[in-house]
């Protein structure tokens, strides 16, 4: 049986801008941009995992808003799911504490200015499509 491990990524939105994070490791991914997040642990739900990962990686208090429909294959056995998310009132601003060495808030016309991981491109595209169709 194929084991499948979900990686949750946050489309963290603030004032219409999307947060992108530049990976600092491992070497084959370093320098490329992704949606912050990480692996869902056994017994954990995806939304709880995302809130935990954003706290650990970025030092923020965030809440999920809604799932972006779809699931994108990463290196087996990982698959990527994405949730839109926002900062809770009073949260610190995100900082690249762990796994990342740079962050950028991207306005809609800047989203393709960064070098996203190849496997993230369809997920980012789906996220933008959802935002454009009025979902938040």
Q: By the criterion CB under 6 A, which residues form the site for ligand 8DG?
A: 7, 9, 29, 34-35, 37-39, 74, 78, 80, 99, 117, 119-120
Q: How far is the CB of 85 from ligand 8DG (least distance, A)?
A: 13
Phi, psi of 43 (to 5 degrees): 80, 0
Give min distance, CB of 26 to ligand 8DG, in A. 7
CB of 127 to ligand 8DG, least distance (A): 11
**Rounded to the nearest whole angstrom, what is the least distance from the CB of residue 28 to ligand 8DG in the complex?**
9
Q: Which residues contact 63 (CB under 8 A, 6 or more apart)?
A: 51, 85, 86, 88
Contact indicator for 101, 22 with CB cutoff of 8 Å: yes
Residue 64 or 119: which CB sits closer to ligand 8DG?
119
Secondary structure letter of residue 75 according to DSSP? S
Nearest to 127 by CA among 33, 49, 19: 19
Q: From start to end of the chain, where are the E strands?
A: 5-14, 17-23, 33-34, 37-39, 62-73, 78-87, 100-106
Name which of 33 and 134 has its Cβ closer to ligand 8DG. 33
Measured from the CB atom, the residue of 75 and 134 that comes closer to ligand 8DG is: 75
Nearer to ligand 8DG, 86 or 120 (CB): 120
Find the residue with minimal CB distance to ligand 8DG: 38
> What is the Cα 66 distance to its own chain's centre?
13
């Amino acid at each position: 049986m194929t084991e499948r491990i979900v990686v949750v990524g946050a489309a963290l939105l603030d004032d219409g801008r999307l947060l992108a994070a530049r990976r600092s490791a491992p070497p084959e991914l370093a320098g490329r941009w992704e949606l912050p997040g990480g692996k869902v642990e056994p017994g954990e739900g995806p939304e709880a995992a995302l809130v935990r990962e954003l706290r650990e990686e970025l030092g923020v208090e965030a809440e999920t808003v809604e799932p972006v429909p779809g699931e994108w294959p990463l290196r087996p056995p990982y698959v990527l799911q994405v949730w839109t998310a926002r900062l809770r009132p009073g949260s610190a601003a995100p900082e690249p504490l762990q796994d990342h060495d740079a962050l950028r808030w991207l306005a809609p016309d800047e989203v393709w200015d960064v070098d996203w991981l190849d496997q993230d491109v369809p997920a980012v595209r789906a996220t933008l499509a959802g935002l454009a169709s009025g979902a938040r």
